[in-house]
Structure 1
Amino acid sequence: MKMSDVAKLANVSPATVSRVLSNPELVSKETRQKVLDVINEVNYKPHIVARQFRTKETKIILVVVPDITSAFFSKVLRGIEHVAVNNGYQVILGDTENDIEREKEYINLLLQKQADGMVLLTARLNKTNLEEISEHFPMVLACEYMDGLNVPTVSIDNISSARKATEHLIKLGHTKIAHITGPINVILSRDRMRGYQQAMMSHELDIDSAYIQEGDFSFESGYNQTLKLLALENPPTAVFAFNDEMAMGAIKAAKDSGLKAPEDLAVVGFDNVKMSSVIEPNLTTINQPKYEIGKKAMELLLKLINGESINKKKFVMKDELIIRESCGSNPDLKEQTKM
């Protein structure tokens, strides 16, 4: 079925059918409805490639994530997709599996004009490359970021939130607090470690280098690094983990070592994924407004696609400490979560 066939059945010109599809406000209500009735009746699908040649638009947004298996990204992606779909765009997902070469491959799709814009949820390329690409194509960073990058970015303040998580453990009386980081080559890992260190130093607590162990975001690394911490001659009484998955691994390691959380080992995570409120004990964590981050990132990208300027480059969303059972807080304390 071609556009000319639809036009013949609706007794209008092909140009009118084209306007109904691309600029319906230019067609009278009666004619527009007549064309739409025929389109629905014959299930006509516009030729996407032909439309690209005419409009130089694909109506496709590329979203690049570092790890699609991570529970954290599902709500971020939902926020992006809801805004995209409501504005007539489709979302294509690219999973880099934390591989910088894969990230480059997906960015090449943008360079080949196979997408109208990109939301990067990972930023492992160097600053110069990203800025060069952003000068020619609409691009927004979300969740991850890069110091001094002249590209619109949506995230939380990871240093402040990590400091908040660590200080909660300090207020509960812990002085021997360990930190399981993410990979140190990732800026989020360095910033959350910085927040942990700031909290320890501001309370004049020693930072034992043996208490800082590098993980890889996974449950397994949280488990294994916690076993190392518990095997120390002077083991920590609390652990702040980079994310909830590693925090859950820490709780499992404590249990397998004959210890109880939070009685013997207090644990705080980060991200507030769904499982954090399901596991036993429920996990104290930092909530990131995941859906709102995705929504804001897509709104900014649409502005860039439409040729609007964005003077402000850094958008910092509000995080929240969610107090549950895993850190040994008062069980009667009302959970501070926003539903």
Structure 2
Amino acid sequence: MQQIAAAAGVSVTTVSHTISGKRPVRPDTAERVRRLIEEFGYVPDSGAQRLKTGRSRIIGLAVPDVSHWYFGRIARGVEEAADELDYGVIVASTSNSDPRREKRYFNMLRTRLIDGLVYTASREMTPTEELVKLASKSPVVLADEAIPSLDGLPSVTSDNYVGAQDLGRHLASLGHTRAVILSGYAGLKSQIERVKGIRESFPNALVLYGDFELRSGYDLVSDLLAQDVRFTALFGCNDLMAIGAMQRLREAGIRVPEDVSVVGFDDVDMASVVTPGLTTVRQDMLEIGRRSGRLLIEGLEGRTELTSAGSVSLPVELVIRGSTATAPA
């Protein structure tokens, strides 16, 4: 900074104000300083900034598996929001909330390497002990899954209950009366809400639990067929399980939708290209990430309070494709 100040013929304070924007600097002077900054390749020292301001301007994102399509979309949304607000993002994979990995990443927040955390739950609504400790002292926003025992934290989720209601009503309007529900992990609030929503139209629906993957849907339908369970409608609590179920039904000679109507939830890219196209509920994972990142940063900058009052439930949309039809006689 001293070299830049000398080359520009200004004080070090003027260079500092040009970089931070905290004090007005004459436009021609600021332009001259910025040009010299580019020439010198000057980059502010993040450690020094953190000591001076107590802030790193970096947030963390903890997801169960960053390589998964679903969580990758959320991560992209968080990064877009952070970039717009001039923050960086460190993305961490917790390996389905492994306590050891969580502690390692949570320590980044405790030591102020990051200013706050966007957290996405994986299997259960019961948070780890480390997360409970962290949430009591540090800025945390929950993305995709609300955790009831951390009800003081803000969250950004989809309206899972309404989406499942819409699917149930759609299937009921087609004359279906016997339905099977393939749910993800039983402890997640999103799954509880989706099962509840579909059961408004199908109170006696059989519920089986899987892990959200294609193979899970395939294997659960294999079990149903082996036990000769009769049904005309199948509700997958996510698209991948629904598509896996469709594959197994096809192998068994059961036609979709002539014999069984199948619906999913999420509207992943694959849902529109499988045959038949999958009727599903579209939720915006990218927007979940954007809103979560923006909510956290606005809280860090004092523009909003990070409490459950700031929680957001994003609307969803029923998308009807070829996998649903009138119930067979």
- Say if 1:222 and 1:155 are closer, same or farther in 2 by CA, change over 3 A: same
Runs of 5+ consecutive residues of structure 2 not aligned to the other structure: none
Matched residue, 1:144: 145
Which amino acid letter does the alignment assign opposite residue 321 of structure 2?
R
TM-score, normalised to structure 2, is 0.89
1:282 Cα deviation after fit? 1.0
1:100 Cα deviation after fit? 3.6
> How do residues 206-285 of structure 1 correspond to structure 2 at under 5 angstroms?
206-207=204-205, 211-285=206-280
1:230 Cα deviation after fit? 2.5
Matched residue, 1:113: 112
Which amino acid letter does the alignment assign opposite residue 235 of structure 2?
F
Which amino acid letter does the alignment assign opposite residue 172 of structure 1?
L
Which amino acid letter does the alignment assign opposite residue 56 of structure 2?
T
Measure, in 1, the Cα distance between the counterparts of 2:53 and 2:229: 67
Matched residue, 2:96: 98
Deviation per CA, 1:297-338: give whole Å up to 9, x if none.
Answer: 222212210124436243221111111111237xxxxxxxxx
Aligned residue pairs: how many? 320
Contact conserved, 1:24 with 1:32, CA < 8 A, in 2? no
Measure, in 2, the Cα distance between the counterparts of 1:135 and 1:313: 17
TM-align CA RMSD: 2.2
Matched residue, 2:18: 20
- Say if 1:278 and 1:25 are closer, same or farther in 2 by CA, change over 3 A: farther
Which amino acid letter does the alignment assign opposite residue 85 of structure 1?
D
3-state SS, counterpart of residue 137 of structure 2: coil
Question: Which of 159, 165, 168 is the matching residue for 1:166?
Answer: 168
Question: Which of 71, 77, 80 is the matching residue for 1:79?
Answer: 77
Q: Which one scores higher on RCO, CA 8 angstroms, separation ≥ 6?
A: 2
Matched residue, 1:332: none
3-state SS, counterpart of residue 52 of structure 1: helix
Measure, in 1, the Cα distance between the counterparts of 2:161 and 2:20: 46
3-state SS, counterpart of residue 72 of structure 1: helix
Deviation per CA, 1:142-184: give whole Å up to 9, x if none.
Answer: 2100226111111123223223222222221222211111111
Measure, in 2, the Cα distance between the counterparts of 1:317 and 1:222: 26
4+ long deviations beyond 4 Å: 127-132
Compare 6-15 and 164-173 and name the one that shifted more.
6-15
Contact conserved, 1:150 with 1:313, CA < 8 A, in 2? no
TM-score, normalised to structure 1, is 0.86
Matched residue, 1:34: 32
1:115 Cα deviation after fit? 0.5
Measure, in 1, the Cα distance between the counterparts of 2:13 and 2:225: 73
